[in-house]
Amino acid sequence: MSTVTSQDGTVIDYDRHGDGPAIVFVGGATQYRGIDPSTGQVARRLGAEGFTAIDYDRRGRGRSGDTAPWALEREVEDVAALIEAAGGSATLYSSSSGATVALAAATAGVGVTALALYEPPLFAGADHAEHLDTLRSLLAAGKNDEAMRYNLTAVIGVPSEAVDGMARSPGWADMVAVAPTLAYDLAAVHDINVDPDWTGRWSSITVPTIVYSGDQTFPGMPEAADAVAAALPHAGRRILPGQGHGPTPEAIVPVLLDFLR
């Protein structure tokens, strides 16, 4: 484990695997190393294939710190510090809403050389203001468990009985621990979705990009991936057979290697 200090003084904790061209993994909502062994496996495999793979806890999660007030720009500064520690340039691989950070970092010009985005949940015109208000109200009242349940059912669309099953699992408490960061991701997604220039906001991103989706995922995710790819000047699309919203290491590693090489 290693750390970098972001521009606002927040300490960001990460694992580094291998040596070579760098790739930084940007997790989606609730993802962090304590509950996401899959990303760690992908990072280790890429490290063994001649890359420097950086698997980090986004601010407010796991071993990383947090500094109020949150802003997407602060998360970009976190990525910039990690890229600097990795040698000054890196590909970013994002999961789900982690795409908000990856796209902002590429726009900011902080050494991003390529983008690999897995199922960015971005839908032009989708207004999450009411969901965001509800989440913030629950979190302000200290109702983190309710906030997590609300995000899963009302925002994502997971059936309530499935969420009840998740809540009985040993990892539920670790998910609830990062519930305050749900508002970070949803705020970033909302701001993108209601941008009147949604299709033009990434026109300055000229790095090679690939947008992935699975064919067994949530409704609308493939279409969202299509739209994001179409809005990026140099983006390709790839659909992974048999994969849902979170791909297995066995499925994602080979296609990532194809892209990186």
pLDDT, position 1? 80
Asked if residue 229 is part of any domain, the answer here is: yes
For the chain, what is the domain count? 2
Q: What is the pLDDT of residue 92?
A: 98
Reply yes or no on whether the pLDDT at 21 is more than 90: yes
In whole angstroms, what separates CA 182 from the centre of its chain?
Answer: 12
The verdict on 22 and 105 lying in the same domain is yes
pLDDT-derived band at 148 (thresholds 50, 70, 90) equals very high
Q: Do the domain assignments include residue 44?
A: yes
Average pLDDT in the 42-49 region? 98
Residue 192 lies in a domain: no
Cβ neighbors of 10 (< 8 A, separation 6 or more) are 59, 64, 65, 66, 67, 74, 78
The residue assigned the tokens 């140099």 is 234
Residue 203 lies in a domain: yes
Q: Which residues of 146-164 are buried (b: 16+ CB within 10 A; e: fewer)?
A: bbbbbbbeebeeeeeeebe
Distance of CA 225 to the CA centre of its chain: 14
Neighbours of 201 (CB within 10 A): 15
pLDDT tens-digit map of 96-145: 999 999 999 999 999 999 999 999 999 999 999 999 999 999 999 999 99
Task: Note down the domain range covering 147.
Answer: 129-183
143: helix, coil or strand? Answer: coil
83 domain-assigned? yes
Find residue 53's DSSP bridge partners: 17, 23
pLDDT at site 19 = 97
Q: Which of 85, 125, 89, 82 is nearest to 109 (CA)?
A: 89
Chain mean pLDDT for the chain? 97
Q: Identify the pLDDT of residue 133.
A: 98
Query: Do the beta carbons of residue 98 and residue 31 sit within 8 Å?
Result: yes
Residue-level pLDDT at 65: 98
Q: Do the domain assignments include residue 188?
A: no
pLDDT confidence bin for 84, thresholds 50/70/90: very high
Confirm whether 115 is domain-assigned. Answer: yes
Tokens of 30: 């609730």
**162 & 82 share domain:** no
Do residues 23 and 113 share a domain?
Answer: yes
Give per-residue pLDDT as tens, 159-178. Answer: 999 999 999 999 999 999 99
Is the model's pLDDT at 188 over the cut of 90?
yes
Q: Per-residue DSSP letters for 165-229?
A: HHHTSTTHHHHHTTGGGHHHHHHHHHHHHT-TTGGGTTTT--S-EEEEEESSS-TTHHHHHHHHH
